[in-house]
Structure 1
Amino acid sequence: MSRSTEPPVVLITGANRGLGRALAQSFATAGATVLAACRDPASATFAPSHGAIRPLPLDAGNPDSIAALALALTGQPVDILVNNAGIRGAMGGIDTLEPGDFGAVMAVNALGPLLLTRALRPNLLAGRRRVVAMISSSSGSMTEGLDPDGDYAYRASKAALNVMTLKLGYDFPDLTCLLFHPGWVRTEMGGPEATVDADTAANGLTRLILAARPQDSGTFRRWNGDPMGW
């Protein structure tokens, strides 16, 4: 099999549960080779699929863990990086905000994706597609992100992720940098009342990411392809 016809290699963070697990399964079913990065690879279980899924250790909020993953993947081309790992943190308002919690959410949701993208840039440049997909949220939107919930840290982290993704695309035109709102997904984080099931969101995101073109860099879209307000 020539390099041009090999299945794409897709690295997904937070891939052992929720939307991340659904994304890993969706990409594998589409024929991709999936590197499923998560804190506890031993706990990651996946249904049979058309592609291969390889669990790898990663604590997305730990710079040392990010560096270790990059070292382990030295020389491994990565076609698509999906920065999906995220935490919600405390959901209260300004009166109950704790600096430690705020910092932890920012470390996982904003700084982590930036550091991982930097660390894996050589791998992405060795790949054919060179796509970086950030799983953001409507909570990070200046026009759509306000509701009665508190979530100061989560909102701030996703807003930071949005602007950093735009900056990455500006600084590195050799990468296609994308932002996605997956919807209100029925996962442990989203809760049972959420309106989109994980498989539906993952399948929609997979189609969009696999179809991404360089001119799509800097776009912010919902899981179904509709544009998101900034």
Structure 2
Amino acid sequence: MAAEPGQPGTVLITGAGRGLGRELARQYARAGWRVIACGRAFPADGFEERVEFQPLDVTDPASIRSLASRLADRPLDVLVNNAAVRSRAPGLVALEPEAFLDVISTNTLAPILMAKALLPNLRLAAGPVIANIGSRAGSMAEGLLDDDDDDYAYRCSKAALNMATVQLARDLKPAGITVLALHPGWVKTDMGGPEAALPAEDSARGLCEIIHCASVEDSGSFLTFDGKRVGW
């Protein structure tokens, strides 16, 4: 189980400069956590107290290794792999190989590389959690039920992240590390758009609660922000 809110726990959040990542950083900081907010640039509106900004380009393995070097020997209770992108031009006709691979690099490969690089930090904590912010859009069972989005790269990247989550859960369970795939809902952010149904505050609050309550027995689960199970 991750550290109690208000206790000396540390959380690292990628893509923390805006949107859901920014709100996660805000809520963790207000709950008394030490927050390491990662992004390509420091946001114009700054961060709350207890938030430490670390520059990070998750698409650059050297940037990830540099972050791990700067954080050497620091315990990490929670790693939130939140950074994600969508295709600039979704649909089969508009699909371009380079753009497709860019989405895979950010949404799938980066969380794996982050887990690998920060594994020593996670091992220093008691009951650490890796939370991969996925999407029901990547679910084979449920992704197409009420969603006509045709972003091939985004869907494939999130489906692949699901498998990465399950693989990481199996590999890291003996070390007592919990790994979760979490669907944040359709969130009102730059990515989700103005028509989205869920305020970022509500999504982040639910995600934080799931992470806080998670134990190693839950490792490998695919859950919505409000605790419902998602079919793979």
SS at match of 2:51: strand
List aligned pairs for 1:42-61, cutoff 5 A. 43=44, 45-47=46-48, 52-61=50-59
RMSD, matched Cα: 1.6
Structure 1 residue aligned with 2:78: 80
Which of 186, 189, 213 does residue 188 from structure 2 map onto?
186
* Distance across 2 between alignment mates of 1:94 and 1:47: 42
Structure 1 residue aligned with 2:171: 171
> Does the 8 Å contact 2:77/2:126 carry over to 1?
yes
User: Structure 2, unaligned stretches of length 5 or more?
Assistant: none
Q: CA deviation at 1:41?
A: 2.4
TM-score by length of 1: 0.94
> Does the 8 Å contact 1:17/1:44 carry over to 2?
no
Structure 2 residue aligned with 1:102: 100
Q: 1:31 to 1:196 in 2, by over 3 A?
A: same
> Does the 8 Å contact 2:29/2:48 carry over to 1?
no
Which of 194, 204, 207 does residue 205 from structure 1 map onto?
207
Structure 2 residue aligned with 1:229: 231
SS at match of 1:81: strand
Which of 195, 198, 205 does residue 196 from structure 1 map onto?
198
> Does the 8 Å contact 2:7/2:32 carry over to 1?
no
* Distance across 2 between alignment mates of 1:129 and 1:53: 22
SS at match of 1:34: strand
SS at match of 2:126: coil
> Does the 8 Å contact 2:18/2:43 carry over to 1?
no
> Does the 8 Å contact 1:16/1:44 carry over to 2?
no
Structure 2 residue aligned with 1:136: 134
* Distance across 1 between alignment mates of 2:44 and 2:56: 13
Letter in 1 for 2:215: R
1:26-70 per-residue CA deviation (whole Å, 9 max, x = no partner) reads 11112111000111025462346xxx1111101111111101100
SS at match of 2:93: helix
* Distance across 2 between alignment mates of 1:99 and 1:44: 35
Structure 1 residue aligned with 2:35: 34
Give the paired residue count.
Answer: 225
Sequence identity (%): 47
Which has the larger displacement, 140-149 or 104-113?
A: 140-149
* Distance across 2 between alignment mates of 1:204 and 1:42: 24
User: Structure 1, unaligned stretches of length 5 or more?
Assistant: none
Say yes or no: does 1:154 pair with 2:154.
Answer: yes
Q: CA deviation at 1:6?
A: 4.5
SS at match of 1:111: helix
1:173-207 per-residue CA deviation (whole Å, 9 max, x = no partner) reads 12100110000000000000000000110011011
TM-score by length of 2: 0.93
* Distance across 2 between alignment mates of 1:183 and 1:91: 22
Q: CA deviation at 1:149?
A: 2.1
Q: CA deviation at 1:132?
A: 0.3
Q: CA deviation at 1:93?
A: 1.3
Letter in 2 for 1:24: A
1:113-146 per-residue CA deviation (whole Å, 9 max, x = no partner) reads 0001000000000012311000000111001212
SS at match of 2:87: coil
